[in-house]
Copies of this chain bind each other. A is one copy, B any other.
């Protein structure tokens, strides 16, 4: 594999020197939810690196053959065993340092039968005062949680587009 600008392109790409195949590398979408029940939010404690032991909203890489909403539902089920009714998209946060865009949907937990998946140590519900702010795994999650509580206090939920470390 060599780094060069393919014909008709404007940026250097990884190209196979044997067969000429261009291996494009583009930002990845991370999809998740903000599951709410009785005014509390669901968080997952990570059982994997990076940020083992820290708390996060259920989220993960969007896969081929699914919509953004389906990805958010799938990750919520996989990581927390949680069944939710999906609401509107709430935040879209670019993280160019790691070439990711994180999108979180509002969501209403359908019941409290939760079950940590393989990548989760435990699942718990937190009201605003109990959120473990110093043990949040990622800045996109911390930002999303802060915006969610701000919007709830205002009585109106918006859509928040932000950048981190741009």
Contact = CB atoms under 8 A, between A and B. Distances in A.
A26 interface: yes
Interface residues of A, number: 30
Given A68-B161, A159-B88, A161-B68, A26 B61 contact: yes
A29 B89 CA distance: 16
A106 to B, nearest CB: 11
A2 to B, nearest CB: 16
Contacts of A94: 66-69
Nearest to A103: B92
14 contacts: A11-B63, A24-B61, A25-B64, A26-B28, A26-B61, A26-B62, A27-B63, A27-B64, A64-B99, A65-B96, A66-B94, A88-B159, A92-B92, A92-B103
Interface of A: 11, 23-29, 61-70, 88-89, 92, 94, 96, 99, 101, 103, 159, 161, 163, 166
